[in-house]
Structure 1
Amino acid sequence: MKVALIDYGSGNLRSAAKAIQRAADENALTLDLKVTARVEDVVAADAIVLPGVGAFADCYRGLSSLDGMIAALNDQVITKAKPFLGICVGMQLMASVGREHGEHPGLGWIDGAVELLTPSDPALKIPHMGWNQLNLLQPQHPVLAGIAPGAHAYFVHSYHMVPRDRAVVLAEADYGGPVLAAIGRDNMVGTQFHPEKSQATGLRLLANFLRWRP
């Protein structure tokens, strides 16, 4: 399986690549993984992973700076329906708009906005950083297969996606109220948490994604 891990200057690429490769190796999955900024590699891939660390607008600008990349992603993910995984800000970019330091357009794949976290408990700090339990709202989704209710995942973020349609929410965490942890629609999934830092839970999700044929 050919997987393109997109390098647009805003991702934890080394850790993500190592985790994807480890998930493949531990599950005897054949993997041709390319960390790439080239449109040609995205077009040739069977599946696409978009990581992201930093501010929403900066990440979108970085992606836009790769000539033809957003058009290629729209074609490969939306038109050709290739499996897609967004991680952290890579997941947030799927939204219509991000409201971090102003209002900024996203890819528009999921109708919704990326908003500042506002925990009900003022003692809870922003950014939300560390391990949290997952509340699986759609445990039957293939990418969540074998992940136990209450499994822990690692988060580092100050903003979260608020989709207009709750039906796309696969999992939540509790941080002074529900916080979107994973999202899915059609051939697309995204995680607010970092699977590459989430040990067994993250490796299971990545292996599931590599097997997924939506």
Structure 2
Amino acid sequence: MNVTIVDYNSGNISSVINSFQEVAKDKVNLEVTSDLNKIKSSDKIVLPGQGSFKSCVDALNSIDGLVDTLNNFVISEKKPLFGICVGLQMFADIGYEEKETRGLGWISGKVLKIDNQNGKYKLPHIGWNEINIVKESKIFKDIENNSHMYFVHSYEFIPEDKSVISATTDYSSNIVCSVEKENIFGTQFHPEKSDKIGLKIIDNFIKL
């Protein structure tokens, strides 16, 4: 099985690569690439994202044919994709970080700045926080509810269809921190920085 981490120059993804390598060793063939043919022939894709919504969307669009290839992989071929942090946020129709920017439109919704209640909550939301698993999700197999995950973000994804939400975290409000829609999976937290539990989530995705 081929698993590809899409490297589209969106910041430092070394911890994502290292954790997937640790989990995938001897089990699957792991590639880190922006080569469209390798992405097309993959069985599963990981879409990381660091920085702002706009900078990540711009970076995806700067590689000719990449967005079309991802759309075909996810929407037409219905193969599994896992988005991490801004990788998840880009599933939305639109984001408002820096300026209004169109997302991939895979899961209807928008990405807005977390309401910090006039400074009561610090932004970015950074560090460990509990997740509340609200529906059974394939990537949460054998993960206990109220497990702690590692977060770094100032913006949140608000999907129109609440049934796609698989987990939330409490920070100023109930923030969506995981989604699952058919073959599309995403976490706002960083599984690659969330110790053994995070590695278990990665393992669950690889074993899908």
**TM range, smaller chain:** over 0.9
How far 1:13 sits from its partner (Å)?
2.1
Consecutive unaligned residues of structure 2, counting only runs of 5 or more, are: none
Q: Does 1:155 align with 2:144?
A: no
Match of 1:99 in 2: 96
Match of 2:57 in 1: 60
Q: 2:85 aligns with which of 84, 88, 92?
A: 88
Equivalence map 1:1-214=2 (5 Å)? 1-25=1-25, 30-120=27-117, 122-138=119-135, 140-212=136-208
Note if contact 2:24-2:30 (Cα within 8 Å) is conserved in structure 1: no
Q: Matched residues, percent identical?
A: 40
Deviations 1:78-127 (A, max 9, x none): 10011100000011011000011221100000100000001347332010
Pairwise CA RMSD: 1.2
Aligned residues: 208
Measure the CA separation in 1 of the matches of 2:49 and 2:189.
11
- Are the structure 2 counterparts of residues 179 and 121 from structure 1 closer, same or farther at C-alpha, using a change threshold of 3 Å? farther
Consecutive unaligned residues of structure 1, counting only runs of 5 or more, are: none
Letter of the structure 2 residue corresponding to residue 17 of structure 1: I
Letter of the structure 2 residue corresponding to residue 84 of structure 1: L
How far 1:24 sits from its partner (Å)?
2.5
Deviates further, 94-103 or 106-115: 94-103
Measure the CA separation in 2 of the matches of 1:84 and 1:77.
7
Q: TM-score, normalised by structure 1?
A: 0.94
Give structure 1 regions of 4+ aligned residues with deviation exceeding 2 angstroms: 119-123
Q: TM-score, normalised by structure 2?
A: 0.97
Note if contact 1:113-1:162 (Cα within 8 Å) is conserved in structure 2: yes
